[in-house]
Amino acid sequence: MFPIDNLQVYCVFDRVITKEKNLIKNSTATVDELNHMEPKSTGWYVCPFRAYLRPNEQIVVAVIHFAFAYDSPLSFGSRTLSASEEYTLDTASVPATWLTGNHLK
């Protein structure tokens, strides 16, 4: 086990469509809440896609994933890059819920 230093978390908007037919696609937002994690610890992240929308704009389709970059503890000076699986917003549920995987394919 080792700590993770210089952690950067990115929310990647694979596809977000609003009721007003606005499209956000292949865009990335940085999540700045955390840059260090101790071994066996966890963190939570809020994807800031609301900053890309007008007030009260309703999302009808959303597929996102997270990308991560951090200093590798195993080799000097290198960065490790990885990505999560995709998440799809189920707008039919109340409240809307994120589902694992791309359910729009």
How do residues 58-72 score in pLDDT, each as one tens digit?
999 999 999 988 887
Domain presence at residue 49: yes
Reported as a single tens digit per residue, the pLDDT across 21-72 is 999 898 888 876 667 788 888 877 788 877 888 888 999 999 999 998 888 7
The mean pLDDT of the chain is 86
Domain presence at residue 105: no
Domain presence at residue 32: yes
Task: Write the Ramachandran bin of 21: left for phi over 0, alpha for psi from -120 to 50, otherwise beta.
Answer: left
- For residue 31, the enclosing domain spans 4-100
Q: What is the pLDDT of residue 46?
A: 80
Q: Kindly write down the DSSP assignment for every residue of 27-69, as one continuous string.
A: EEEEE-S-SEE-TT--------GGGGS-TTPPEEEEEEEEEEE
Domain presence at residue 18: yes
Q: Domain tally for the chain?
A: 1
Domain presence at residue 42: yes
Domain presence at residue 30: yes
Q: Answer for the pair 87, 77: CB distance below 8 angstroms, yes or no.
A: no
